[in-house]
Structure 1
Amino acid sequence: MRGRTGYASLVLVLLAAGCGGEPPPTAAADVTGVWCGPERDVLTLDAAGGFTVTDISTPLIDEVLHDEEFVPGYRRKTEYAGAVPRHGAGRWRVHVDHGDMFQARRDHVVLDWATFESVQVDEDLELTIAGKGAGLMLGVERVESGFTTLFARCPAA
């Protein structure tokens, strides 16, 4: 009898731990809408999976073109002659990185860029989703610099 009670207690503890675990992954509907950057960048994620960015800033384009092999801004200066496109577009999706024993789950919005202005490109940017509810932020996470916020919900007009 004693063995069964211990087993039942263990099952209840495991069930309780599972029920109080991580919140559900971010759904596409949670991030659909208009997001504002600190330098007038405006990111619009539509329900059909398309996105546009207007007033692209130098920090944003440098994140899109980020390559760990080079210093920040190198690709913009060498491949795009230092120019910063004013707008861009492409497709977006939510990606859930379930993590492992060393890192917690991370939810991301992945921007697959198709154009900078009228020029076709093939770039992507993975934005980590941070915060809760109306306080969601989209940013980049780098080992050397931590989390940098690139977008927050735009205030209602």
Structure 2
Amino acid sequence: MLMSVMAVAVGTLFGACGSPQPSPVRAEDFLGEWCSAQRDQLNLDVLGEFRSSDLSHEFLAVLQDDDEYTEESVLKRDYGGEFPASGRGTWTWSGPLASPRLRLEFVALGLSRKPISGELMARRDGQGEPSLFGYEDDPDAGYAVKFVRCG
């Protein structure tokens, strides 16, 4: 009996020490400037405001409810005929600790008369660094855009 208690204790000790769990991400981890591989830029400030620039089709697809935004008629109707290159608005942090989300509420997006909103998933990437992931539809299909710290 004593041997099995010691085996469990030693196994637990080595299991806990062998692979430390990364700390959960917090809203403060995401203040500052973020960039994507598609060259999108997103700047989040402490007052809950953001600015975005160099918007890509991939990032706009994450924000849109449908994939029709690239069609000329939708660009004319919603964006004055031009693909939106920048935007600004407010951001909020929500969701459970294990699965937080960054919600973006645009007040201006290019020439749009009805700015949109969207969410990015906040996670640590494979290297343990805070990252923001945007998914178009099914997260199992992989992310459409990933933001990491610029620089």
TM-score (norm 1): 0.66
Higher strand share: 1
- The root-mean-square deviation of aligned C-alpha atoms, in Å, is 2.7
CA–CA distance in structure 1, aligned partners of residues 143 and 74 of structure 2: 26
Counterpart of 2:121 (choices 124, 128, 131) is 128
Q: What secondary structure does 2:114 align onto?
A: strand
Q: Which residue of the partner structure matches residue 32 of structure 1?
A: 31
Shift of 1:28: 2.2
Higher helix share: 2
Q: Which residue of the partner structure matches residue 74 of structure 2?
A: 79
Q: Confirm or deny: 8 A CA contact 1:52 1:90 kept in the other structure.
A: yes
CA–CA distance in structure 2, aligned partners of residues 88 and 53 of structure 1: 5
Residues 1:113 and 2:106 aligned together? yes
**How many residues are paired up?**
124
Q: Which residue of the partner structure matches residue 153 of structure 1?
A: 149
Deviates more, 1:139-148 or 1:108-117: 139-148
Q: Confirm or deny: 8 A CA contact 2:90 2:106 kept in the other structure.
A: yes
Q: Which residue of the partner structure matches residue 93 of structure 2?
A: 94
TM-score (norm 2): 0.69
Over 3 Å counting, the alpha-carbon distance change for 1:23 and 1:55 in structure 2 is: same
Shift of 1:118: 4.8
Q: Confirm or deny: 8 A CA contact 1:114 1:120 kept in the other structure.
A: no
Shift of 1:90: 0.5
Alignment of 1:60-79 (within 5 A): 60-67=59-66, 72=67, 74-77=68-71, 78-79=73-74
Q: What secondary structure does 1:80 align onto?
A: helix
Greater RCO structure (CA 8 Å; 6+ sep): 2
Letter in 1 for 2:75: Y
Q: Which residue of the partner structure matches residue 3 of structure 1?
A: none
CA–CA distance in structure 2, aligned partners of residues 109 and 53 of structure 1: 14
Shift of 1:32: 0.7
Letter in 1 for 2:120: L
Structure 1's unaligned 5+ residue stretches are 1-19, 99-104
Q: Confirm or deny: 8 A CA contact 1:127 1:138 kept in the other structure.
A: yes
CA–CA distance in structure 2, aligned partners of residues 92 and 129 of structure 1: 13
